[in-house]
């Protein structure tokens, strides 16, 4: 029997009674729907080998190969999100939406915990449907028809954010150029829910405005979206798997476990173009 419990009133769901390694058919469709609506689903006590991780992702749909993260030697489909005990910078340690810099952004990811610190290293998600819904009506009106430009170049380029940290050498794809324009408010491709689709990691400016002109409104939206009531938090345990929807959520990987290693296996799921 599949059972569910909300992680917080605004975001996330824990799913019990499911073995992801075996989930398919109607069971998989039910899981899919939960993730589209709640933004992120957490599954505990899973036993998922790299092969089963890939097989599940293929049953879900297409796999996107991330351009930046190191890949496992045996399985190029699996990206490694790693912080060694000697590194001080982590991956994803700020609010962001993966792949918003792609014109056809990845739908989401399946993250499997492989090595965990003794404490800390939680991941936070924030629900952009809840964030949109709680905006004042005047703001909703103001956002109608607005589009924004997203890129990852300031993060991953040779003079980007990570290059200045001890994560720099582990990353690939520094020569890539990215850029995409999306509506500021999108409709979820499957549920039709209205979602705020700008994020502090990759959204640079509104179309037709400079960065400087855009920043006051962007920062107002970011501050609103990251309010605690839109968030949920996942404490990883051995066997924990999280699957999230990039359209519905932002996420943030806590970097509060200095001196300890943390390693996650990530498969990125393909998505579709986004529309208002």
Ligand X SMILES: O=C(O)CCC(=O)C(=O)O
Q: For the window 77-116, what string marks contact with Fe ion as x by the rule CB under 5 A? A: ---------------x-----x------------------
Distance (Å, whole) CA 262 – CA 257: 9
Minimum gap (Å) between residue 92 Cβ and Fe ion: 4
Distance (Å, whole) CA 2 – CA 124: 24
Residue 264 touching ligand X (CB under 6 A):
yes
Residue 40 touching ligand X (CB under 6 A):
no
Concerning whether 99 is annotated as a catalytic residue, the answer is no
Minimum gap (Å) between residue 16 Cβ and Fe ion: 25
**Residue 96 DSSP label:** B
Centre a 10 Å sphere on the Cβ of residue 259 and count the other Cβ atoms it contains: 9
The one catalytic residue in 53, 205, 251, 262 is 251
Which one of ligand X, Fe ion, none is in contact with 255 (Cβ closer than 5 to 8 A by kind)?
Answer: none
Distance (Å, whole) CA 146 – CA 137: 15
Minimum gap (Å) between residue 79 Cβ and ligand X: 8
The one catalytic residue in 64, 98, 102, 245 is 98
Whether the Cβ atoms of residue 37 and residue 49 lie closer than 8 Å to each other:
no
The one catalytic residue in 53, 96, 188, 265 is 96
Distance (Å, whole) CA 88 – CA 46: 29
Which one of ligand X, Fe ion, none is in contact with 91 (Cβ closer than 5 to 8 A by kind)?
Answer: ligand X
Whether the Cβ atoms of residue 203 and residue 148 lie closer than 8 Å to each other:
yes
């Amino acid at each position: 029997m599949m059972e569910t419990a909300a992680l917080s009133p605004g975001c996330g769901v824990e799913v019990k009674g499911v073995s992801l390694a075996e989930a398919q058919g109607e069971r998989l469709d039910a899981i899919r729907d939960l993730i589209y609506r709640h933004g992120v689903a957490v599954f505990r006590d899973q036993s998922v080998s790299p092969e089963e991780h890939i097989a599940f992702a293929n049953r879900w749909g297409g796999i996107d190969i991330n351009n930046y993260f190191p890949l496992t030697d045996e399985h190029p489909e699996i990206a490694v999100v790693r912080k060694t005990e000697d590194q001080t910078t982590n991956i994803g340690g700020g609010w962001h939406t993966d792949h918003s810099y792609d014109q056809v952004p990845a739908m989401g990811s399946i993250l499997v915990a492989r090595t965990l610190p003794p404490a800390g290293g939680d991941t936070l998600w924030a629900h952009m449907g809840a964030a949109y819904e709680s905006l004042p009506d005047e703001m909703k009106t103001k956002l109608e028809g607005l589009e924004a430009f997203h890129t990852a170049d300031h993060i991953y380029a040779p003079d980007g954010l990570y290059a200045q940290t001890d994560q720099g050498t582990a990353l690939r794809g520094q020569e890539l150029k990215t850029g995409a324009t999306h509506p500021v408010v999108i409709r979820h491709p499957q549920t039709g829910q209205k979602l705020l689709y700008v994020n502090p990691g990759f959204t640079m400016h509104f179309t037709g405005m400079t960065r400087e002109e855009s920043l006051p409104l962007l920062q107002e939206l970011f501050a609103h979206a990251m309010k605690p009531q839109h968030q949920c938090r996942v404490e990883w345990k051995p066997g924990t798997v999280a699957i999230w929807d990039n359209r519905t959520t932002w996420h943030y990987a806590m970097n509060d476990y200095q001196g300890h290693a943390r390693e996650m296996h990530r498969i990125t799921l393909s998505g579709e173009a986004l529309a208002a």
